Amino acid sequence: MISNTATLYLDHAATSAIAPEVHTFFVSLLSQGIGNSSSAHSDGSHALALLNNARENVAQKLGCDPTEITFTSGGTEGNNWILQRVLEDAARSDRFKSSRPHLITSSIEHSSVVSVAQWMKKTGQIDWSELAVEPDGRVSVQALERMITPSTVLVSIGHGNNEIGTLQDLKGLGDLCRSRGVLFHADACQTFCHEPFVARDLPVDFMVLSGHKIRAPKGVGAVYVRKGLELTPLLFGGKQERGLRPGTTSVELICAFAKAASLWTVKDIERTHAVRNYSIQKLKSAVPGVRFNGPESGPVLCHVLSFTTPAIHSKALHRELANAKVSCSTGAACGTGLSDSSAVLLGLGRSPDEAHQIRISFSPTTEMATIDTFIDRLTKILKAL
């Protein structure tokens, strides 16, 4: 039984609460006073051993070699690093003495991809094409094939959309890119641990991960770079992370990230899927004419659900839900904030008047009772409005 005054947290796609086991482990590391992993003494050696173990654990979870993992501050840094350096390095090559590298993204990418593409195009460094998606948010392999040109260097497609939950066919898209000699980047911040996949089995060259999406602290993530590829640094300084990401390494954050990743199981994914399915059923029963954005079933993120009510704008509804102590969102926390319309829903082809939503998102700890209470508060608000 959930109290009428309890806050309901349904915004795990924005950030998730630190898992208790991770919190305990993280605090214990802070209490120990872990040394600098680059220092040549016993405290430094101990920190380095912790760092190496964390790298092995993250690599094992992702399904890759530890040397393919470089730790970062999170998804935004990782996406910036990959897009900027891959495209800038290409632009300096003999191949592009009289032309510009070509980047392809989908029309529903995260702001940390879109903003980089906009800036690099505006400054004349690249040509950029946005690929329209299907009505459910999926990227068509055939449509991508038609868009690739001899100048295409990189295709960047988010694995799982953070607003509508659509999962992309990384194998089909990656196989096409590989056959055309094009590098393939997938933002996996929402899919890592939430969707079972093995990086080494996918034709993906770069992936980006984020800690706070999987019940680890904020401020830590990782980049996967397929063995055999080189990614020049975004920053310059010391030799940390093999010289690719200089600066004193936050061993504590990285270890907490690895700990959180190790806790996720297939049962957690199944449990979260069940909560999502239950939410769909309850919304259909309680809200006549409710419209779901993105796929209801099939390949879809287990923890993300977007819907639009027919008669009330989501901005007004979100304000009332917040007053009723429901923590949810109207889109990505990293959105541009330039419009009341969702860039993702606009990318699906919705008109500005239709491009609004309520996004609820879950974790393995979300209970069915939480959904029942959410539906109760939602229906009361809808009747009042």
Express each pLDDT in 89-130 by its tens digit: 999 999 998 899 999 999 999 999 999 999 999 999 999 999
47 closest CA partner among 61, 37, 33, 58: 37
3-state secondary structure of 359: strand
Residues 91 and 232 in one domain: yes
- Predicted local confidence at residue 336, as pLDDT: 44
Specify the number of domains making up the chain: 2
Final residue before a domain boundary, out of 210, 234, 263 = 263
Q: Please confirm, yes or no, whether 328 is among the known catalytic residues.
A: no
- Predicted local confidence at residue 338, as pLDDT: 47
Residues 237 and 340 in one domain: no
Percentage of the chain beyond pLDDT 90 is 81
Query: Does position 227 have pLDDT exceeding 50, yes or no?
Result: yes
Neighbouring-strand partners of residue 11: 361
Distance CA 274, CA 271 (A): 5
Final residue before a domain boundary, out of 237, 263, 289 = 263
The residue whose two tokens read 């954005």 is 293
- Predicted local confidence at residue 298, as pLDDT: 87
- CATH of residue 290's domain is 3.90.1150.10
Distance CA 217, CA 213 (A): 9
- CATH of residue 150's domain is 3.40.640.10
Final residue before a domain boundary, out of 196, 229, 263 = 263
Q: Per the structure block, which two tokens stand in for 363? A: 């974790």
Neighbouring-strand partners of residue 358: 307
Which strands, in side-by-side order, build the sheet including 358-361? 291-293, 304-308, 358-361
71 closest CA partner among 260, 204, 262, 240: 240
Residues 184 and 143 in one domain: yes
Q: CA quadruple 131, 135, 137, 143: dihedral positive or negative? A: negative
Residues 250 and 269 in one domain: no
Q: What is the pTM of this model?
A: 0.94
| Residues 6+ positions from 281 with CB-CB distance below 8 Å | none
Residues 145 and 222 in one domain: yes
The residue whose two tokens read 């639009």 is 308
Express each pLDDT in 162-204 by its tens digit: 999 999 999 999 999 999 999 999 999 999 999 999 999 999 9
Question: 177, 302, 328, 334: which is the annotated catalytic residue?
Answer: 334
Whether 3 is in a domain gets the answer no
Domain ranges, residue 79: 23-263
Residues 209 and 336 in one domain: no
